[in-house]
Amino acid sequence: MKKVMIAATLVAMVGATTQAQAIGCISGGAAGAVAGHYAGHHAVLGAVGGCIVGHQAHKKQVADKKLKQQQRHQPQQDGSSDE
């Protein structure tokens, strides 16, 4: 019964996420499930926590990448004036 609940929870988590959210959620959920299992047989709780953390980390990574692209396309301003 416990394995059925774990499988149903994982399927629901993957099915409920969009493609953008799934990138961080799946990798974080897998890592969290393993960590939760070894920390006291709390694999589902670890997977949920890992999904949340993985999603946030992916959002931060995308935002950092977007910021770097914006900075690369802006003209350089060194503070000197052409007089």
Q: What is the pLDDT of residue 41?
A: 83
User: What are the residue ranges spanned by the domains of the chain?
Assistant: 19-66
What digits encode the pLDDT tens for the residues 32-67?
888 888 888 888 888 888 888 888 888 898 999 999
pLDDT tens digits for range 1-37: 677 667 777 666 665 555 555 777 888 888 888 888 8
Q: What contacts 24+ positions apart, CB below 8 Å, involve 38-43? A: 43/6
Higher pLDDT, 8 or 83: 8
pLDDT at 65: 92
Q: Would the pLDDT of 81 be above 80?
A: no
Cα 46 to Cα 41: distance, rounded to the nearest angstrom: 9
